[in-house]
Amino acid sequence: MDAQIEKQARIQRSIERTIENFKKTGRKNMNAAIVRSRIATVKEAWAQYQQGHDLLTTLVSAASRPTVEYFSNNLLDVTEAAFNATMDDLAVWLEELEPVVSQTQSIANSTVRSDTSPFSLSHLPTIRLPPFDGKYEEWEHFRDRFTALIRDNPDLSDFARMHYLTS
């Protein structure tokens, strides 16, 4: 039983020191793979701690637990709090090194246009679109021309598109 309690204490210290030791890595040596590795290590240590706690629970009777320091100090809860704080800190580090990209951000980034286009609004010739007066016969011609010249033109910013649409 004493050996198991010592093992529990070692695992607890390991979990509690994870962030301190992680910071010793140095900011420029940190990367997402190292953070993920530390997360896996902490999860494994926590699983071992829980197994050890289960073993101690079977070894020590409920009546004698108040006399055992491990149980009287409620070290399971203390270690669980340390585990959760460590996991939270590591999740923050991972987020900084490898931000989560949502689908909408991914789509928006895939259609980003270069702001260093060789053309600027002042250098572009005026695009003359025939005015659309609401006649259905002229709609397809207007739509096709607007799509080709304005909407699908990757060199135009949204501001330029709006300018041409309203002019």
For residue 62, the model assigns a pLDDT of 92
Tokens of 138: 């002229």
d(CA 25, CA 14): 16
Q: Output the pTM of the full model.
A: 0.59
| Averaged pLDDT in 10-residue chunks for the chain of 167 residues | 94 95 85 91 96 95 93 95 95 83 56 49 60 76 78 79 72
All structural domains of the chain with their residue ranges: 1-97, 136-166
For residue 130, the model assigns a pLDDT of 65
Q: Tokens 């071992």 sit at which residue?
A: 48
With a CB cutoff of 8 Å and minimum separation 6, the contacts of 148 are none
Q: Tokens 């004493």 sit at which residue?
A: 2
Nearest to 35 by CA among 23, 46, 44: 23
For residue 83, the model assigns a pLDDT of 96
d(CA 143, CA 140): 5
The amino acid present at 98, given as its one-letter code, is: E
For residue 100, the model assigns a pLDDT of 65
